[in-house]
Amino acid sequence: MPATAQKSAQPSVPQSARQSTIKILYSESDEATLTAQVAEMRKAGHCVTTALNRQAVQEELRRDAFDLVILGATLSRDDRHHLPYMVKKAHEGTKVLVMHAGTHHHEVDAAIDSNLSMQLILERIAALLQPVEV
> Which CATH number fits the domain that encloses residue 63?
3.40.50.2300
79 in a domain, yes or no? Answer: yes
Instruction: Decide if 7 is inside a domain.
Output: no
Whether residue 4 lies inside any domain: the answer is no
| pLDDT attached to residue 134 | 52
Mean pLDDT by 10 residues, the chain (134 residues): 42 42 93 92 93 96 96 92 94 90 73 83 85 59
The answer to whether position 118 is within a domain reads: yes
Q: pTM here?
A: 0.79
Number of domains composing the chain: 1
Question: Is 9 part of any domain?
Answer: no
Residue ranges making up the domain that contains 110: 19-128
**Within a domain: 2:** no
Kindly state whether residue 37 falls inside one of the protein's structural domains.
Answer: yes
Please tell me the predicted confidence (pLDDT) of residue 12. 40
The pLDDT value recorded for residue 25 is: 97
pLDDT value of position 8: 38
Which among 117, 64, 94 is positioned nearest to 51, based on CA atoms? 64
Predicted local distance difference test score (pLDDT) of residue 5: 44
Predicted local confidence at residue 3, as pLDDT:
44
Orientation angle between helical segments 77-90 and 54-63, nearest 10 degrees: 10
